[in-house]
Amino acid sequence: MKEHLEQIRVQHEGLGSEDLLRWSFDTFQGDIAMASAFGVEGMVMIDMAARIRRDFNLFTIDTGFFFPETYELMDKVEKRYGVRIERVKTQLTPEDQERAFGPALWSHSPDKCCQIRKVDPLKQKLSGLRAWITAIRRDQTANRATARKIEWDEKFQILKVNPLADWTTKQVWNYVHEHQVPYNRLHDRGYPSIGCSHCTRAVQPGEDARAGRWSGFQKTECGLHTPEPQPELVRLSPEPLPTR
């Protein structure tokens, strides 16, 4: 597949999101899965996939630190769409992590925490697949600005499909309202981007949509969609991270 990637890119870059999803499911059958953290883009992808087929593979990297509202939404997804969400987790429990690295690892070494609780479990999950589907968009972060609808993921050595790569925030919310898609209640309380409860806060008026993630650090990605691990970060300000 990798050797024919450029031809596949050219042939499918112009496909609409639903057509690209349909092609992905037909091509890879049971060897492709959709990853979701249940943000609003992820909910669009889930709704779209469910309209194409009911037996698609859906998983989340469950860090154990999600907001209660996120777990609540996951229950709604399983009931509404009749799918089972596979919860992929690290073998290191929060208690084990604290014993190994001290309390609140995320507050001083967020990259290390993300590596343990997100990146490593994802790598293990993807090792058994031929392709994965994400809900990333080009205008979310600088790292995602060059995302193609179909690309080779060098980090995980797998084909990556990004059906919403060229969507805008307005398009995402228009779809949600048109199809009455459920979404995380935190979006209505100033959380445009939602991750772990320890490292996510509400965004203030005038701030970037990702400003609430890893506040106080020069960090906008957990590492799942970056080419290589980034150097250890230092805090840019004394602003404390959430402790919930």
Alpha helices, DSSP H only, in 35-190? 40-52, 68-81, 94-101, 110-114, 120-126, 169-179
Secondary-structure percent of the chain, ordered helix, strand, coil, rounded to 5: 40, 10, 45
Terminal-residue alpha carbon distance, the chain: 44
Nearest-angstrom CA–CA distance, 234 and 244: 22
Q: For the beta carbon of residue 63, count every other beta carbon within 10 angstroms.
A: 24
In what side-by-side order are the strands of the sheet with 150-153? 85-88, 58-61, 32-35, 131-133, 158-161, 150-153
Token look-up 């650090």 returns 217
Tell me which residue of 115, 122, 120, 121 sits closest to 101, measured CA to CA: 115
- Relative to beta strand 158-161, strand 150-153 is antiparallel
Set 113, 196, 199, 222: catalytic member: 222
Torsion sign (Cα): 198, 192, 176, 20: negative
Count of CA atoms in the C-beta half-sphere (13 A) of 100: 9
Nearest-angstrom CA–CA distance, 151 and 135: 14
Based on the residue annotation, tell me whether 199 is a catalytic residue of this protein.
Answer: no
Give the catalytic positions in this structure. 222
